[in-house]
Amino acid sequence: MKLGRLNHVGVATPSIENSVALYRERMGAEVVRDPFDLPAQGVRVCFVDTPNSQIELIEPLGADSPIVKFLEKNPEGGQHHLCFEVPDIEVARTFYDGKGVRILGQTRIGAHGTPIFFLHPKDMGGVLTEIMESPKQAH
Ligand code: CO
């Protein structure tokens, strides 16, 4: 198992529109991707690019969204998860499973179109951690 680069920091927000304005106007971000729905995760997603990584803005998609509770506790939004790349998602899953790290749900397709899964924050020092397979072509 080889841990790869930090792909993105997930930031939950009640409003992608307001957060994009904040990143553009207050932070000076210049590259903001088009928002899109990710129904499998129950979120609407928008990537803000930085030279070495991305911020993944996530807004609830529907009342059953997994980030509804997070936003009840953090009404203005906040840092939600870290996402690291790995070369092979199945190798990574077996690796974390073998260490007794709890994996949340099935491996599924994430916001970059590659397989992902989440590790339980209680086994990761309080940090909800997303593991994603690196995209095959340059991005
Ligand atoms: Co993410």
pTM: 0.93
Cα distance between residue 28 and residue 88, in whole Å: 35
- Give 98 Cα–ligand 1 centroid separation in angstroms: 23
Q: How many CB atoms lie within 10 A of CB 109?
A: 14
Q: Is residue 111 classed exposed, middle or buried when 0-12, 13-18 and 19+ CB atoms within 10 A define those classes?
A: buried
Q: Write the DSSP assignment of 17-77 as a string of letters.
A: HHHHHIIIIIT---EEPPPEEEGGGTEEEEEEE-SS-EEEEEEE-STT-TTHHHHHHSTT-
Residues, Cβ < 5 Å to ion ligand 1: 10, 56, 83, 130
CATH, domain 6-133, list 3.40.47.10, 3.40.50.10300, 2.40.30.10, 3.10.180.10: 3.10.180.10
- The CA 8 to ligand 1 mean position distance, Å, reads 7
Secondary structure element (H or E) that encloses residue 106, with its range:
strand 103-109
Q: Break the chain into its structural domains and give their ranges.
A: 6-133
133 is catalytic: no
Q: Give the model's pLDDT for residue 41.
A: 87
Query: Could you give the CA distance from residue 94 to residue 115 in angstroms, rounded to a whole number?
Result: 14
CA atoms within 13 A on the CB side of 12: 23
pLDDT per position as a tens digit, 117-136 = 999 999 999 999 999 999 98
Q: Do 86 and 131 form a contact (C-beta atoms < 8 A)?
A: yes
The catalytic position among 56, 85, 130, 133 is 130
Q: Please give the C-alpha separations between residue 90 and each of 18, 68, 107, in angstroms, as whole numbers.
A: 37, 29, 9
Q: Tell me: the pLDDT tens digits for 22-74? A: 999 999 999 999 999 999 889 999 999 999 999 999 999 988 999 999 999 99
CA distance 26 to 118: 30
Ligand 1 center to 116 CA (angstroms): 9
Centroid of ligand 1 to alpha carbon of 111 (angstroms): 7
CA of 129 to the centre of ligand 1 (A): 9
